[in-house]
Amino acid sequence: MSVRRRPRRVAMLSVHTSPLHQPGTGDAGGMNVYVVELARRLAAAGVEVEIFTRATSAALPPVVDLAPGVLVRHVEAGPYNGSAKEDLPAYLCAFTHGLTRTWTDRHPGYYDLLHSHYWLSGQVGRTAAERWGVPLVHTMHTMAKVKNASLAMGDRPEPAARVTGETQIVAAADRLIANTGTEAAELVRHYDADAERVTVVHPGVNLDCFRPDDAGVEAGRAAARVRLGLPADALIPLFAGRIQPLKAPDVLLLAVARLLQERPRLRERLVVPVVGGPSGSGLTEPEGLQKLAARLGISDVVLFHPPVGQSRLADWYRAASVLVMPSYSESFGLVALEAQACGTPVIAADAGGLPVAVRNEVSGLLVPGHDPADYARALGSFADDPALSTRMGEAAARHARSFGWDTAAAATVDVYAAAIRTHEHEGCGSR
């Protein structure tokens, strides 16, 4: 049997969160952006993509055209509403059944491979790939053992069932895609992955949407502030993303409170937007961040705003003096890359993939640990030198331009081809 070096059609699994959902709400975040952008660029390169995700409403059509060459298929598995991500393992058998029903309408070889995203999808993927006789490519996005090693205070550890599931996926996958070299090493160290089956593919950024203003970084910042109704001369440290302990927005608020204690006059020109919605364990106290701002006495400078679409989010990035991302764990940090692409520097935790996304002291500042005093000092640098936002922002935009989705998609196609070769050589995926 001849080996097809390049796939024609890929089944992509995103079980727990739909690519149609608004990032920043519920469980929708960087992975949603990743799946959508990768699928679009794969299709543009001639690889058709069908994304299977769980139906969360009876009103959803079975199939949605997301883009030319990209379909989203809704699979009924479990109740439509009210299911937390933690409940979904109980519905994986139903999802697998719904997925395999689709397969019965297809001729053998219709899908060249399965690409699963996150461990829930991987559990479905390893069963479906075996039944279909196609290779499995998996992207973890986050890993239980890594998250549990760096939990935020009050956050819940990932369950043992997830650790077991991830271990099974690593053993079953023909190829694993890691966002960074650090993640690749973690797969080998924590899950005994075969290093030869792990490939690093940096995620990209939509450089058509996330880019500096045509007039330049400084002029674009001023224009974006006018559009958003923000003060022209303010120091604006922005938090954008899901509000949950893992993302550590509380560290930003604690840092702001400390900064104002040290520099009370700064209050007159400080605005701290928090753009996003509660998610994960943050749902247990959805107003927790607002209450913290009140306890710290900084409610007057903190501006809470619900999640927004990409074009509006790009304006928030452009308007900010700096994006602050104190996450305890990030497989990469797409938000940091999006902000930099818009010409905005980043203060980020020196954790996970953020040291790849952010060039320390060039496109932003990396902070070891999560001590609010350290973040306050970093913010103080931007307060002392207002021109720092522009200087670092221009460098940030140059840095981000090297992370295009076309490059990521081309590298992913190479991984697919390698998975097909491995699968054909070993015979129906047997390991």
**Does the annotation flag 23 for ligand binding?**
yes
**Does the annotation flag 338 for ligand binding?**
yes
**Does the annotation flag 166 for ligand binding?**
no
Q: What is the token pair recorded at 144?
A: 């239980």
> Which phi and psi angles does 303 have, rounded to 5°?
-115, 110
**Does the annotation flag 22 for ligand binding?**
yes
What 3-state class would DSSP assign to 289?
helix
Q: What is the token pair recorded at 80?
A: 């439509």
**Does the annotation flag 317 for ligand binding?**
yes
Q: What is the distance between the alpha carbons of residues 94 and 80, in angstroms, rounded to a whole number? A: 13
**Does the annotation flag 308 for ligand binding?**
yes
**Does the annotation flag 344 for ligand binding?**
yes
Q: What is the distance between the alpha carbons of residues 340 and 155, in angstroms, rounded to a whole number? A: 29
Task: Give the containing element (helix H, strand E) for 419.
Answer: helix 405-426
**Does the annotation flag 330 for ligand binding?**
yes
**Does the annotation flag 41 for ligand binding?**
no
Task: Give the containing element (helix H, strand E) for 391.
Answer: helix 388-400
**Does the annotation flag 310 for ligand binding?**
no
DSSP 227-269: HHT--TT-B-EEEES-BSGGG-HHHHHHHHHHHHHH-GGGGGG
**Does the annotation flag 162 for ligand binding?**
yes
Find the length of the chain.
Answer: 431
Distances (CA, A) of 113 to 157, 184, 199: 32, 22, 17
**Does the annotation flag 318 for ligand binding?**
yes
**Does the annotation flag 247 for ligand binding?**
yes
**Does the annotation flag 320 for ligand binding?**
yes
Q: What is the token pair recorded at 282?
A: 């943050």
Identify the CA nearest to 363 among candidates 337, 383, 386.
Answer: 337
Q: What is the token pair recorded at 344?
A: 């905005």
**Does the annotation flag 242 for ligand binding?**
yes
DSSP 93-153: HHHHHHHHHHHHTS-TTSSSEEEEEHHHHHHHHHHHHHHHT--EEEE-SS-HHHHHTTPPT
Q: What is the distance between the alpha carbons of residues 276 and 272, in angstroms, rounded to a whole number? A: 13
> Which phi and psi angles does 287 have, rounded to 5°?
-100, 15
Whether residue 325 contacts residue 336, with contact meaning beta carbons closer than 8 Å, is answered with yes
Known binding-site residues for 1D-myo-inositol 3-phosphate equal 16, 27-32, 85, 118, 142, 162
Known binding-site residues for Mg(2+) equal 317-318, 320, 344
Known binding-site residues equal 16, 22-23, 27-32, 85, 118, 142, 162, 242, 247, 308, 317-318, 320, 330, 338, 344
Known binding-site residues for UDP-N-acetyl-alpha-D-glucosamine equal 22-23, 30, 242, 247, 308, 330, 338
